[in-house]
């Protein structure tokens, strides 16, 4: 059974794939005028935010900071940025090829994002508040 404190495996995979897409667009799309779909980028950003909103709602509702989904998204972005900068940027032909593969996979990443949104909202509805022992009479 999936722990309710951690994000789903699909959520983590989506955050890593979306981070790879954002980093590839930053390095290749801006520098080399690579044809990137701005609509897909906006949709992917909205899907990332949509995957983080249920944890924010639980944070407000239960008055307990649920930091793991946001930390996972930030860590994925930082890790992909460092991998791109240290391992791929010395080889321009390689990072252009990797960017082409990532750009080709953007519809699949968006599909994964839709699956993640559905899974996170289902999980959000299943989590119920526990009574607090310390403040109850």
Residue 94 pLDDT > 70, yes or no?
Answer: yes
Question: Domain-by-domain residue ranges, the chain?
Answer: 9-126
**8-22, 27-41, 60-74: which range is least confident on average?**
27-41
pTM for the model stands at 0.80
- Convert the pLDDT of each residue in 45-73 to its tens digit: 899 999 888 888 877 777 777 788 888 99
What stretches of the chain adopt beta strand conformation (E)? none
- Is the pLDDT higher at 36 or at 55? 55
Residue 135 pLDDT > 70, yes or no?
Answer: no
């Amino acid at each position: 059974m999936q722990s309710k404190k951690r994000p789903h495996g699909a959520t983590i995979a989506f955050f890593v794939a979306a981070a790879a897409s954002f980093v590839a667009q930053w390095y290749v799309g801006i520098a080399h005028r690579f044809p990137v779909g701005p609509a897909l980028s906006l949709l992917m950003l909205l899907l990332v935010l949509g995957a983080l909103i249920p944890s924010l709602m639980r944070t407000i509702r239960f008055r307990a900071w649920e930091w793991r989904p946001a930390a996972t998204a930030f860590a994925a972005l930082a890790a992909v940025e460092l991998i791109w900068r240290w391992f791929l940027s010395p080889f321009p032909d390689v990072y252009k090829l990797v960017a082409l593969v990532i750009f080709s996979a953007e519809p699949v990443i968006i599909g994964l994002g839709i699956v993640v949104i559905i899974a996170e909202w289902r999980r959000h509805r299943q989590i119920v508040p526990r009574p607090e022992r310390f403040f109850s009479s």
